[in-house]
Structure 1
Amino acid sequence: MQLEQFVRMHGEELLRLAVTYVKNTQVAEDIVQDVLLKAFEQQQQFRGESTYRTYLYRMTINRSYDYLRSWSYKNTILTNKIQKIFRGTKSAEQQVIELTENARLGQAILQLPLKYREVIILYYYKEFNIEEIAQLLSKSSNTVKTRLRRGREKLKFILEEGGWDDEFSHKASH
């Protein structure tokens, strides 16, 4: 398989996953580029202990965690907080994102702690089942179920606090 084909097959899905972790499209693009290049170069080393999709997701999640632990990320967060203090307003990008209900839901999901956000995204948006998520995150099925339940509860609270109590928040409680 050629690299271009490999990127077309997996790139977009992995990019969306990385963005949910690092909350920055440019950084997510770098992460996915690194993951896809490494995976492409090491295709023959894939042992088949899981699906290839799960393998790529695991690599992307690990690389995202590496970034979140890095000095670069911590420095960016500090810089952004300082800029917000001086500006006192939301960026134009943030204002546009908040215009639609789907974007509001996305924003609410991004407010969740990472351990809840990742199971919500993997379960509802990436359509992994509980067992696959457990394998992907190296957690027990019960841990995944608990995080999913708590994540839905926290998401419902965030949406209701924001005054957006509609059919999704009702669904999130079930």
Structure 2
Amino acid sequence: MHDHLEEIIELYGDYLLRIAYTYVKDQRIAEEMIQDVFLTYYKKQEQFRGEASLKTYLTKITVHRCTDYLRSWKNKKELLIGKFHIRGQTKNIERKYIEKEEKMEVTEAVFSLNVKLREVLLFYYYADHTTKEIAEILSIPESTVKSRLQKARTVLKEKLKGVDLEVLLNGNE
């Protein structure tokens, strides 16, 4: 049982951490979220029915955990505390993480999008999910995913004038 969980953590841990980070924008909190996701899976793995891939299932749990966190008082308290304390070391880790994954200018533009636009964009381009898979992960119609993708592309095009975004702007759903 433990070997199975270790294998799943090895396969999906980094991927889920990146997903969580795109929501909460804090490395420490994203790590806590992923620990919680794997703990939840371990305790309730018999509930996984195999209707979707395990990666999709764990991604869906991650998304739900992150959106719950973003709505929570704990998040609001962390944001308030963050305004009053310099968290230099954490910020350096976060900055290195962002720079590693994307060019800073594009990353900032993507992170400035609201969560609904950001999540479909990242699932589509970064995690390489289809619009159908994204609809399943987010429990929304596929047409909504497509319209959010189009809106995200339009907003990014405006924010990133002069930056080559051909892949983002001409993607095929």
CA spacing shift, 1:67–1:100, aligned 2, 3 Å: closer
Residue ranges of structure 1 left out of the alignment (5+ in a row): 85-90
Contact 2:21–2:27 (8 Å) recurs in 1: yes
Greater mean alpha carbon deviation, residues 121-130 or residues 36-45: 36-45
> Which residue identity does 1:26 align to in structure 2?
R
In the alignment, the residues of structure 2 paired with residue 25 and residue 171 of structure 1 have an alpha-carbon distance, to the nearest angstrom, of 28
In the alignment, the residues of structure 1 paired with residue 156 and residue 139 of structure 2 have an alpha-carbon distance, to the nearest angstrom, of 23
Counterpart in the other structure of 1:35: 37
Please state how far the C-alpha of 1:42 moved relative to its aligned partner: 2.0
Contact 1:120–1:151 (8 Å) recurs in 2: yes
> Which residue identity does 1:166 align to in structure 2?
V
Counterpart in the other structure of 2:155: 154
Q: How many residues align?
A: 163
1:66 pairs with one of 62, 65, 68: 68
Mapping for residues 19-168 of structure 1, pairs under 5 Å: 19-81=21-83, 102-160=103-161, 165-168=162-165
> Which residue identity does 1:70 align to in structure 2?
S
In the alignment, the residues of structure 2 paired with residue 50 and residue 167 of structure 1 have an alpha-carbon distance, to the nearest angstrom, of 35
CA spacing shift, 1:99–1:45, aligned 2, 3 Å: closer
Q: CA RMSD in A?
A: 2.4
State the percentage of identical aligned residues.
39
Instruction: State the TM-score, normalized to the length of structure 2.
Output: 0.83
Contact 1:18–1:64 (8 Å) recurs in 2: yes
Structure exhibiting the larger radius of gyration computed from Cα positions: 1
Instruction: State the TM-score, normalized to the length of structure 1.
Output: 0.83
User: Larger relative contact order (C-alpha < 8 A, sep ≥ 6)?
Assistant: 2
Residue ranges of structure 2 left out of the alignment (5+ in a row): none
> Which residue identity does 1:136 align to in structure 2?
I
